[in-house]
Amino acid sequence: MSCRQELWISGERFEGGFQTKISPAYDDVPESQYHFPRMYLNQVRQTVRDWIVYYEPRRATADALSRGGRQSYFAVARVKGIREDPLAVDHFYADIADYLVFDRAVPFRVGDHFYEAAMRGLDGRTNSGSAQRAVRVMSDREFELILHSGFASELPLADGAVERGGFADPPEMEVRSIVELTVQRPFRDAIFSRQVQEAYDKTCAMTGLRIINGGGRAEAQAAHIRPVARSGPDSPRNGVALSSTVHWMFDRGLLSIEDDFKILTAKGAVPVEVSRLLNPTGYLHLPEDFRVQPHKHFLRYHRENIFKG
C-alpha cells in the first residue's frame, strides 16, 4: 500500500507506500490501524497527519509461496498518529482515519508504465527489492494518477463540474484538490453506498429481498456497522446492505450479527412479522468477494456498543 505526506505549510511534499496482505501477518485493520516493525518507523513518521494509499502485494499471507494478492493499490486514507505496540517489542501502530476504498483496484503497472517509478527496474521489469518494501516513497504525480485511476471515471467536483480520471486520460487536477474531495461527506456517502450495494447486488443481506423501483433505485440501503458518528469508516467491510425497516432496526440495536454472520435479534424487541422476513438459514447473504464481507472488528463493536440483546 502506498502512503503520501503533504507538508503544505512548508510547501514540501513527501509521498510513499504501505503494503498490507489479504491475511496479514501483522495486526492490520487497514480501516483503523497499520501494524509495522521499527525498520519503517522513520518513513511512517513522515506520513503523520497526512495521506496514504494502500497496496496489496502478490503474496496473500506471510507464506513466501502464497499467491492471490491483486498487486494493486486499493484505498486511500489519512495517518492520525503513531503509538507503540504494548505487546510486541520494536513494533508500532499507525492510527488511520478517512479510509476510502477505490472504486476499482489500480494495478501497479499498465503495460510498460509503472505507477511508481521505483517499482521499475533498470531492465524494464519489476524491481523486486522495491516491491517487497512495506513502506515506499512516491512522487506527487504518481500519487495523483493512482488516486484518479482508483475512483470512478467521472469524479464530481465541488462546483458541479466533472473531472475525468483514469490512466488513459491523466487529469491535470492538483493533488490537494483531489484529497479534499475524498473527505467531503457527499462524495464519501456516494462511494460507500455504491460499493456496498454493488457488493450485495442491491439485495438485503438479512431478508434476501431485492426490490428495484422503476427508476432502477434499490430499496436496500448501505448501512454502516460501526456508525460514522462513532468513528466508523466508509469501508465496505464496515457496511451491509439492508432494507429500510431492517436498517432502522439494526441502527437501533434490535438486530446484530455474530462473527460467523449469524443474525442476532434482541429478545422481545423484534416483531414477529419482521422475524418471518429474515433469512430462513439465520445467516446473512454474503458477497462472493470476501474482501468486502463484514469484518469481525466492526461486528464486535456493534454487538458490544449498539446491540440491545
* Predicted pLDDT at 96: 95
Q: Burial level of 172, CB count in 10 A (0-12/13-18/19+)?
A: exposed
Q: Quick one: which of 307, 309, 206 has its CA closest to 267?
A: 309
Given a contact cutoff of 8 angstroms between Cβ atoms, the answer to whether 98 and 107 are in contact is no
Q: Residue 208's beta-bridge partner residues?
A: none
* Predicted pLDDT at 166: 42
Given a contact cutoff of 8 angstroms between Cβ atoms, the answer to whether 223 and 251 are in contact is yes
* Predicted pLDDT at 16: 55
Q: Which triple of cell numbers denotes residue 250?
A: 439494526
Contacts made by residues 286-289, CB under 8 angstroms, sequence distance 24+: 286/205, 286/261, 287/199, 287/200, 289/199
pLDDT tens digits, residue range 60-114? 776 767 688 888 999 999 999 999 999 999 999 999 999 999 998 999 888 888 8
* Predicted pLDDT at 117: 82
Q: What is the rounded average pLDDT for all residues in the chain?
A: 84
- HEC profile of 103-141: EEEEECEECCEECCHHHECCCCCECHHHHCCCEEEECHH
pTM of the shown model:
0.83
CA distances from 258 to 86, 128, 166, 279 (A): 28, 41, 39, 15
* Predicted pLDDT at 229: 96
CATH 3.40.50.720 fits 2-183, yes or no: no
∠ CA 157-105-218, nearest 5°, is 65
**CATH 3.10.590.10, the chain: domain bounds:** 2-183
* Predicted pLDDT at 256: 98
∠ CA 293-296-299, nearest 5°, is 95
**Which residue stretches of the chain have pLDDT < 70?**
1-16, 21-22, 62, 64, 66, 152-177
pLDDT tens digits, residue range 196-214? 999 999 999 999 999 888 7
* Predicted pLDDT at 168: 39
Any idea of the CA torsion for 127, 131, 136, 142, to the nearest 10 degrees?
70
* Predicted pLDDT at 170: 45
Alpha-carbon gap, residue 16 to 69, rounded angstroms: 20
* Predicted pLDDT at 162: 42
Classify strands 255-257 and 239-242 as parallel, antiparallel or unpaired: unpaired
* Predicted pLDDT at 66: 67
Alpha-carbon gap, residue 257 to 283, rounded angstroms: 8
